[in-house]
């Protein structure tokens, strides 16, 4: 058998082309399942006492307060690192 003959005998996969309606249905089902995962638990509120202490690993409360800080900082995406985190660092250090 020649190499050309081996290639022609190889079966090729038969792919089904998705139509727009198939894609939309698949996408909406995926989004519904993602939404169910997001809203299974109520949003927990944390207090500063729930935060980790200096030198400890980060806790969920630390991430919660960082997310609130980021969301409340105007033009976050345009700020330099120092301008983003120095005010947060000063605020957190005061609580220790």
Map out the domains of the chain as residue ranges: 48-94
Cα 66 from Cα 46, distance rounded (Å): 12
Share of the chain residues as helix, strand and coil, in percent rounded to the nearest 5: 60, 0, 40
Cβ-contact 60, 46 below 8 angstroms:
yes
Q: What is the pLDDT of residue 71?
A: 93
Q: How far lies 3's CA from each of 9, 12, 49, in Å?
A: 10, 16, 72
Q: What is the pLDDT of residue 35?
A: 57
Per-residue pLDDT reduced to its tens digit, 3-60: 555 555 567 767 677 666 655 665 555 555 555 556 677 778 888 889 888 888 889 9
Per-residue pLDDT reduced to its tens digit, 62-95: 999 999 999 999 999 999 999 999 998 888 777 6
Q: Is the pTM of this model over 0.75?
A: no
């Amino acid at each position: 058998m020649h190499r050309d003959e081996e290639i022609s005998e190889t079966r090729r996969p038969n792919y089904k082309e998705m139509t727009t309606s198939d894609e939309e249905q698949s996408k909406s089902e995926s989004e519904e399942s993602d939404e169910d995962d997001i809203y299974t638990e109520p949003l927990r509120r944390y207090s500063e006492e729930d935060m980790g202490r200096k030198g400890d690993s980060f806790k969920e409360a630390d991430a919660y307060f960082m997310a609130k800080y980021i969301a409340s900082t105007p033009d976050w995406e345009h700020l330099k690192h120092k301008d983003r985190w120095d005010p947060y660092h000063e605020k957190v250090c005061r609580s220790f």
